[in-house]
């Protein structure tokens, strides 16, 4: 299998080198066009995310031209992978010494196994994160648009996407949320509220975490967003960005009275709401209505004792972090099942690839027998013109059966041999024995 991957990942490469080799969308497109012009016989897909830059390539050149050509993996340092590394470095004009020992180079089955790990997010910094799948799809689509993806890359990436789908469907790896906002909404808010589109969301403070949480809440349909912030400018900006309304800090109690869901991320050094103040000023007006509070501030914005109040469900950053940790552990437990699927799919891909390589020999073999069969039948029917149609058909079928039976042993041997790699020796022998052309 003439398949290679070179590049850098967060596991093998430090951040400095990753930044040196990073590609923007526009750069990736330009690079693919450039490389395609230089190496028209090579199929390429460039996967560039914040954690990895990986160039997948397959060439139609003969393996003897590729240096060692170890098709079953191993850190191949042949001419072809070196040319790929050089292409990456040249594009960014990075000297080889800057990245020495930081790049990875894989070939053959290792490439398949690695891509499957990447696509299923098993190789991600946060295992199970969903973004990588869309990034892989985008990388493949870009290569298609640039004309640098051919049949081999098509098979490879389609099978990678199928593997990711299997892992998502057959394991619960992706069902466990691991980010604070997603856990807050999926694990807790969804158990309090049936729907969020009719709920009043109050954001206190304009912290980064508030915005990230708002993104999740917005995805669930929430539209009534109210922002209370000490700094009016920042508060108004945040409110405008999320089509919400801004309220001055003096309205905090009034807003708490009417809110259903609160996200608090202020930088206050003391609680902005004590349990006593809540019971005296807010609770009497809420009439026991449920209030869900995400206190994402450090130190806390809400007095922990407020969590004991009737109808108040108060979650701090620590509570949510603990839930995230549980989910990460749950994901770890799903890893063996995911790895099993990857092994199955890798084997399937490799066997299919080897079959495809032997296909030309099998076709040639069949073709080599078909020609003399047809010629001999023609000669026979010419000599025996009185044969009726059923007899002719029976003779034709006899000839077909004979050819099939003669071809069966070599084809069976080819199929069996290709289970463990491309049977170059056997293919050469068959080609020479039956004088097959390439």
Partner 1 sequence: MNHTEIMGPGVQIVCFAASYLIALTLEITGLWTRTAWRRPLVIGITLAGLVAHTWYLGRRVGAAPTAPLASQYDWFLAAAWLVVVVTLILWFYIPRSPAGIFLLAVVLALIGVSKFASTTPLASFQAPRFWGMVHAVCLMLGTVVVICGFLAGIMYLWQSYRLKNKLPPGDRFRLPSLEWLERVNSRALGISTLLVGVGFITGVLGRLVHGGDQAFVPWTDPVVLSLAAMFGWLMVAEIFRLVYPAARQGRKVAYLTLAAFVFLLITLASVTLLDQVVHPGLGTATKGATGKEIGLPSHLAQKLAERPGRSS
Binding site for partner 1 (CB under 8 A): 172, 175, 187-188, 190-195, 287-290, 307, 310-311, 313, 315, 319, 322-323, 326
Nearest distance, CB of residue 129 and partner 1, angstroms: 19
By beta-carbon proximity to partner 1, the closer residue of 52 and 177 is 177
Nearest to 298 by CA among 315, 272, 317, 325: 317
Nearest distance, CB of residue 34 and partner 1, angstroms: 49
The two three-digit tokens of residue 269, written as one number: 């050094």
| Cα 313 → chain centroid | 36
Distance in angstroms (rounded) separating the CA atoms of residues 150 and 142 = 12
Nearest distance, CB of residue 194 and partner 1, angstroms: 4
Beta-carbon contacts of residue 332 (< 8 Å; ≥ 6 apart): 127
By beta-carbon proximity to partner 1, the closer residue of 188 and 369 is 188
By beta-carbon proximity to partner 1, the closer residue of 180 and 430 is 180
By beta-carbon proximity to partner 1, the closer residue of 26 and 194 is 194
Phi, psi of 329 (to 5 degrees): -65, -40
By beta-carbon proximity to partner 1, the closer residue of 136 and 324 is 324
Q: Is 324 a catalytic residue?
A: no
Nearest to 159 by CA among 351, 359, 415: 351
Nearest distance, CB of residue 326 and partner 1, angstroms: 6
Which candidate in 8, 50, 146, 324 is catalytic?
50
Nearest distance, CB of residue 331 and partner 1, angstroms: 13
3 state SS for 4-44: EEEEEECCCCCHHHHHHCCCCHHHHHHHHHHHHHHCCCEEE
Q: List, by residue number, the catalytic residues.
A: 50
């Amino acid at each position: 299998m003439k398949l290679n991957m070179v590049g850098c990942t967060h596991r093998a490469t430090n951040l400095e080198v990753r930044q040196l080799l990073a590609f923007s969308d526009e750069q990736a497109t330009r690079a693919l066009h450039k490389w395609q012009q230089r190496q028209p016989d090579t199929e390429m897909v460039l996967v560039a995310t914040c954690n990895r830059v990986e160039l997948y390539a397959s060439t139609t050149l003969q393996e003897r031209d590729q240096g060692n050509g170890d098709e079953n993996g191993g850190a191949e340092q042949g001419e072809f992978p070196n040319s790929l590394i050089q292409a990456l470095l040249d594009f960014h004009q990075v000297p080889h010494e800057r990245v020495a020992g930081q790049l990875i180079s894989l070939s053959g089955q290792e490439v398949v196994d690695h891509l499957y790990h990447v696509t299923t997010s098993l190789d991600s910094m946060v295992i199970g994160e969903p973004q990588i799948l869309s990034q892989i799809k985008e990388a493949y689509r870009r290569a298609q648009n640039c004309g640098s993806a051919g049949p081999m890359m098509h098979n490879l990436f389609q099978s990678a996407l199928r593997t990711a789908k299997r892992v998502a469907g057959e394991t619960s790896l992706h069902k466990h949320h691991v980010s604070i906002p997603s856990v807050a909404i999926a694990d807790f808010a969804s158990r309090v509220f049936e729907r969020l589109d009719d709920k009043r969301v109050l954001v206190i403070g304009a912290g980064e975490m508030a915005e990230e949480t708002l993104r999740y809440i917005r995805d669930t349909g929430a539209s009534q967003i109210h922002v209370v912030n000490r700094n009016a400018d920042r508060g108004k900006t945040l409110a405008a960005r999320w089509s919400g309304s801004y309220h001055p800090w003096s309205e905090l109690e009034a807003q708490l009275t009417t809110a259903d869901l609160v996200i608090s991320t202020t930088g206050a050094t003391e609680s902005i709401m004590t349990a006593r103040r809540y019971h005296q000023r807010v609770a009497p007006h809420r009439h026991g209505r449920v209030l869900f509070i995400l206190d994402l501030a450090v130190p806390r914005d809400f007095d922990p004792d407020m969590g004991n109040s009737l109808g108040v469900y108060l979650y701090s950053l620590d509570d949510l972090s603990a839930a995230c940790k549980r989910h990460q552990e749950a994901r770890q437990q799903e890893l063996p099942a995911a790895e099993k699927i990857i092994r199955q799919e890798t084997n399937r891909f490799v066997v299919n690839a080897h079959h495809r390589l032997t296909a030309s020999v099998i076709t040639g073999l069949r073709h080599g027998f078909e020609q003399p069969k047809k010629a001999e039948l023609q000669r026979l029917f010419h000599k025996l013109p009185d044969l009726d149609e059923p007899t002719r058909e029976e003779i034709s079928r006899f000839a077909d059966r004979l050819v099939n039976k003669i071809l069966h042993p070599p084809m069976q041997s080819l199929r069996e041999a290709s289970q463990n790699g491309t049977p170059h020796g056997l293919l050469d022998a068959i080609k020479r024995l039956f004088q097959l052309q390439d």
